[in-house]
Structure 1
């Protein structure tokens, strides 16, 4: 941090540096840009963040952030209740929605199992998923988790937990690159991966 910056600026830089993809240098550049364009960027951003902090909640059904509960997707009567797509975070859900290929419901896990990071099933929305599958009469659960070690470990664990439920468990086809997140994929890849899903 810049030694000559006041505590307010240093706090802004420190908070920006905690965002994914922003290190100390990028955070410093972002802070300077925000301060330089105070009326166009900083003030509207601060207002949007305040409004989001006050109004956005996690959907009690699927776990995605929205300004209402249940969220817009869970409230949509045109969605297929028998199809649940399990994703790591809301960013993956938004990527799936952007593709327009999936018309079922979602379940946001809130992360992935990770022994290295000390994340176990109790820290994720596993029990809620099991309860939804049993309570809604779902016929298929699509495990749309990253093709990473943690993603595949989580998918395997969920498939085991749901194995006695009578629901078909599928996962995205390998059109999703190893180490890739849904958030970064193009729409065509997501569409093809959904169409070519297979038993997990």
Structure 2
């Protein structure tokens, strides 16, 4: 028979990236906290679930609609960066170097996993491009098979509208060693080299 601790462990284990040992560690941590701390944790989960929604413009997660990025009139409206997930938006924003708008696809093309064109926010992207004066679309999908396939598909569609399409550069991470890099990373680094 499952104990309440076992049930809690199983719920943590359902979270992405959480294995059995980490789930058990989190479950033990929670049950050892004061009831008030557990209530705060549960309230934070309920509040996030109730108040976070997808922006009607870019489909990023936000507590307001349109989201703060789409609402910010100081952003460069001539550029849209297309990403797979809301987490990708946050990662690019942390860099502090991009000041345009975003469009979140909510995945990448993966027919083997049942993810097709109609499962992503591609139709909304194309509608958005048709209703704006966007001059450049930056494709910032992951550099894996699915991300590359998605980027190629989108590039073909967007170029027919006469909009400039660029792809984020790939290469070695800062502090990485060339001798330990895989062939695909090295090929991307050489292909995307920059003038100094």
Q: TM-score range by the shorter chain?
A: 0.7 to 0.9
Secondary structure at 1:162's aligned position in 2? helix
Instruction: Summarize the Cα distance change of 1:197–1:96 in structure 2 as closer, same or farther, 3 Å threshold.
Output: farther
Instruction: Summarize the Cα distance change of 1:134–1:117 in structure 2 as closer, same or farther, 3 Å threshold.
Output: same
Root-mean-square deviation (CA, aligned residues, Å) is 2.1
The one of 84, 94, 99 aligned to 1:98: 94
| Of 22-31 and 93-102, the range deviating more from structure 2 | 22-31
The one of 1, 7, 29 aligned to 1:11: 7
Tell me the distance in 1 between the aligned counterparts of 2:156 and 2:117: 13
Secondary structure at 2:47's aligned position in 1? helix
Q: CA deviation at 1:4?
A: 5.7
Q: TM-score, normalised by structure 1?
A: 0.82
Instruction: Summarize the Cα distance change of 1:47–1:149 in structure 2 as closer, same or farther, 3 Å threshold.
Output: same
Aligned to 1:189: none
Q: Does 1:150 align with 2:138?
A: no
Tell me the distance in 2 between the aligned counterparts of 1:159 and 1:115: 18
Deviations 1:69-113 (A, max 9, x none): 000000000001110000010111000000000000000000011
Tell me the distance in 1 between the aligned counterparts of 2:162 and 2:108: 24
1:100-179 correspondence to structure 2 within 5 Å: 100-175=96-171
**Does the CA-based 8 Å contact 1:84-1:106 persist in structure 2?**
yes
List 4+ stretches of structure 1 deviating above 6 A.
none
> 5+ residue gaps in structure 2?
174-188
Aligned to 2:183: none
Instruction: Summarize the Cα distance change of 1:46–1:197 in structure 2 as closer, same or farther, 3 Å threshold.
Output: farther
> 5+ residue gaps in structure 1?
178-192
**Does the CA-based 8 Å contact 1:142-1:169 persist in structure 2?**
yes
Q: TM-score, normalised by structure 2?
A: 0.84
Aligned to 2:62: 66
Q: CA deviation at 1:172?
A: 0.5
Tell me the distance in 1 between the aligned counterparts of 2:34 and 2:193: 47
State the structure with more CA Rg.
2
The one of 79, 85, 93 aligned to 2:81: 85
Q: Which has the higher contact order (CA 8 A, sep 6+)?
A: 1
